[in-house]
Amino acid sequence: MADGEPPVLGSADAPPGYSLVWGDEFENSTVDSSKWNTFENSNYGSSNKEDQCYFARNVSVGGGTLKITARRETVTCGATNPDTGTRTYYFTSGFLTTRNQGGPLKFKFRYGYTEARIKMPKGNPYWGAFWLVGPGDGSTPGTWPAYGEFDVTELLGARPDLTHGTFHYACTGRASCNTSSAAMYNVRTGDSYQGSSNFGPQLTPSNFVDGETSTRFVRYGFLWQPDRITWYVDGKPMRYLDADGNLYRYRPDGSKVFDRSLTSVFPNNPPTSPLSTVFAYEHSIHLNLAFGGGFPRYSTYGYTGIETATGYSDGNLAATLPAAMEVDYVRVFRLPGQ
């Protein structure tokens, strides 16, 4: 195991001894094309069944932040809508990556600490994410999730008080396994419809029903070590998974408790490769704001809007449009010689 407990970072940007190796402060007036590829006319595949088409025009930089804006507009997309079999979409949004996708590889790394300071929109169709995936350059297994996917945060606009940090990996006998069954930490305690003091420190003081259109800026961090991955919120470690498949979480008082092991969640589905091998693959960075799709439609979140043969059924849509996911910065730090 890694030596010691994951450090509390407070107002610092990175663990002691780590140095900045890559980042974007979004201080220019346009997206830095030397650092990012921006999706154009794409739905990022059909597996998530998202309701938007991604366009570069939905991504902008100004006032010191990156803005990924979701809009309601009917467009013809470069990819087929999985719900209707046509190329018509009724919403647009934006997606950036450092991966070899929609352009040449911009950046990849292995091990270190990465952090983004993000303000997410509220509203039950929104699904914002900051995540790490294989670089798409042939250096890792090409089939998801054999290279492992690290979701630093996925935030559903119906529950802006709750961040999901998930590790996806290839496992025996299933298409994939993940840690999402224990992902729901950092939730507002005392919330009337799912809050629990077992979930950890309060992330944000309110949910969608208070009428606000976005959360506050939150620092989402991820400490990636050879034998452990740790999720952070506002400088505090929230939970970690070790290379033996043991998942731990931290109580609001900072004490650590064992949550579960992957073998207890998927007893008949061991990883197809040792987790230490999966942890060692290089990754690139994704930032995107999805609208609708499978995750917001889970029963926990309950969004019911969906495309139909004749248009878009709003269902119980509750959101301000347009709305943006704002990113203050993205930074990557590493230990010297790592």
Mean of pLDDT over the chain: 87
Domains observed in the chain: 19-334 (2.60.120.200)
Task: Give the residue, 256 or 12, on which the prediction is more confident.
Answer: 256
Lookup: tokens for 337: 């010689």
Q: Is 62 helix (H, G, I), strand (E, B) or coil?
A: strand
User: Which of the four pLDDT bands, split at 50, 70 and 90, describes residue 207?
Assistant: very low
Tell me what the mean pLDDT of segment 150-170 comes to.
Answer: 88
pLDDT digits 0-9 by tens, 256-296: 888 889 998 899 999 999 999 999 999 999 999 999 999 99
User: Which of the four pLDDT bands, split at 50, 70 and 90, describes residue 254?
Assistant: confident
Q: Whole-angstrom Cα distance, residue 165 to residue 187?
A: 12
pLDDT the model gives residue 218: 85
User: Which of the four pLDDT bands, split at 50, 70 and 90, describes residue 183?
Assistant: very low
pLDDT digits 0-9 by tens, 324-333: 999 999 999 9
Lookup: tokens for 271: 């990883």
User: Which of the four pLDDT bands, split at 50, 70 and 90, describes residue 192?
Assistant: very low
Cross-strand pairs, 61: 66
Q: Whole-angstrom Cα distance, residue 247 to residue 70?
A: 35
pLDDT the model gives residue 162: 76
Cβ neighbours of residue 4 closer than 8 Å, sequence gap 6 or more: none
pTM (2 d.p.): 0.92
Per-residue DSSP letters for 110-176?
-SEEEEEEEEPBPSTTEEEEEEEE--SSSSS-SSTTTT-EEEEEEEETT-TT-EEEEEEE-BTTSS-
222, 145 contact by CB (below 8 A): no
User: What DSSP character marks residue 264?
Assistant: H
Question: Percentage of the chain with pLDDT > 90?
Answer: 64
| CA end-to-end span of the chain | 16
Region of poorest pLDDT, from 17-21, 73-77, 217-221, 329-333: 217-221
User: Which of the four pLDDT bands, split at 50, 70 and 90, describes residue 216?
Assistant: confident
